[in-house]
Amino acid sequence: MPVPDDQKSLRHTPLHALHVSLGGKMVPFAGYDMPVQYPAGVLKEHLHTRAAAGLFDVSHMGQIALRPKSGKVEDAARALERLVPQDIVAIAPNRQRYAQFTNADGGILDDLMVANFGDHLFLVVNAACKDADEAHLRANLSGDCVIDPLADRALIALQGPKAETVLATLCAAAPSMKFMDAGPHEVAGIKCFVSRSGYTGEDGFEISAPASDVERLAKMLLDNPDVLPIGLGARDSLRLEAGLCLYGHDIDTATTPVEAALEWSVQKSRRSGGARAGGFPGAEKILAHFDNGASRRRVGLRAEGRAPVREGAPLFADADAGEPIGQVTSGGFGPSLNAPVAMGYVPTDLSALGTKLFAEVRGQRLPLAVAAMPFVKNTYKR
């Protein structure tokens, strides 16, 4: 979705005034006026999140309740399985799972989180895709479900090794939650949905709160000396080091989940021979990629030098070979590694760990090697 040029047309999250008061440098992102960084700067914000705790405003993302007309959550789960290659029926109450909406060509329309809240499903989708996702759900699932966009809710993320102790002061249930647990909990007396998940590779929580209460909640969290506000700049460098895909960059309508190295997110029950194999858009192509392999693959890339290799840089097999063999889809400087990191698509026969490649940056071929992701070990509490 194009970002409007006109600043006046940008939408505000319920925390906009707080961002401005904290000195946030505001930029247009997915139609919203969002903080790219605060006075501490991207580098310090990134390192602080890995060392203590960072608070992110992700209220621009879409939150959608999928309510089964039958009253049985399993019916909503079965309906949603028509749109995603994941096993939704198997998500236990108060658990969540990573998923993708696929299209008829096997490409990815959006990636999302799906939680089972007992009597309905709770979805979190990307800001830039949320209107299209809502329309997609209405067009396909209205017979079985009420599609209920939760426009009056904000979403914040508290990430980092101190996230648990910080949140425990306001939410007694927080320490007992495990990675990908998700459910309704009171935080400082406010009725929230809390999940133990995030987009940084760190342990942490995402908290959906009523828009009217979120500023009060954010201020209480920021009162803790371990917590700094973190902008979109560090959110991007943190997720890149964690090897996590950014929709519209590392995955899009032209990449299948197999090409994107997201096989782990497609459960056996939906693959060939599984109990509910196929039955999602693009199943023929995606299952063929599972069965026969795909010709290209998303890989991690580490540079030998210190020059960041950024999105769009063409990749080559040799220092002087003519035709590019692939392209960088995300890249930059990893503050925790103190080195450049990137990811991109390469032919599968050049995707083995350690394969030497070259990226062209300002007319020079810089040596890279295919590297394991995550680049920084994740610290999820399993």
Partner 1 sequence: MTTTLYTSDHEWLAIDGDVATVGITDYAQQQLGDVVFVELPKIGRALKKAEAAAVVESVKAASDVYAPVTGEVLETNAELASEPALVNSDAQGKAWFFKIRIADKSELGGLMDEAAYTAHTA
Element (H, E) at 167: helix 163-168
Which residue, 42 or 150, is less far from partner 1 as judged by CB?
Answer: 42
| Spatial separation of the C-alpha atoms in residues 230 and 45, rounded to whole Å | 6
Are the C-beta atoms of residues 311 and 248 closer than 8 Å to each other? no
- Find residue 314's DSSP bridge partners: 327
Are the C-beta atoms of residues 148 and 141 closer than 8 Å to each other? no
Inter-CA distances, 277 with 32, 82, 190, 274, 280, Å: 39, 11, 41, 5, 9
Contacts of 351-356 with C-beta under 8 Å, sequence gap 24+, read 351/296, 351/297, 351/299
| Spatial separation of the C-alpha atoms in residues 174 and 243, rounded to whole Å | 26
Binding site for partner 1 (CB under 8 A): 36-37, 41-44, 46, 233-234, 236-237, 306-308, 310, 332-333, 335, 340, 362
For the bound state, the minimum distance from the C-beta of residue 341 to partner 1, rounded and expressed in Å, comes to 11
For the bound state, the minimum distance from the C-beta of residue 42 to partner 1, rounded and expressed in Å, comes to 4
Which residue, 45 or 87, is less far from partner 1 as judged by CB?
Answer: 45
For the bound state, the minimum distance from the C-beta of residue 364 to partner 1, rounded and expressed in Å, comes to 9
CA count, 13 A, side-chain hemisphere, 358:
16
For the bound state, the minimum distance from the C-beta of residue 41 to partner 1, rounded and expressed in Å, comes to 5
Residue type, 214: V
Which residue, 47 or 283, is less far from partner 1 as judged by CB?
Answer: 47
Which residue, 62 or 332, is less far from partner 1 as judged by CB?
Answer: 332
| Spatial separation of the C-alpha atoms in residues 193 and 120, rounded to whole Å | 13
Which residue, 306 or 356, is less far from partner 1 as judged by CB?
Answer: 306
Which residue, 4 or 41, is less far from partner 1 as judged by CB?
Answer: 41
For the bound state, the minimum distance from the C-beta of residue 338 to partner 1, rounded and expressed in Å, comes to 8
Inter-CA distances, 238 with 84, 88, 262, 373, Å: 27, 28, 19, 13
For the bound state, the minimum distance from the C-beta of residue 119 to partner 1, rounded and expressed in Å, comes to 43
Q: ∠56-204-168 over CA atoms, to 5°? A: 105
For the bound state, the minimum distance from the C-beta of residue 333 to partner 1, rounded and expressed in Å, comes to 4
Which residue, 19 or 285, is less far from partner 1 as judged by CB?
Answer: 19
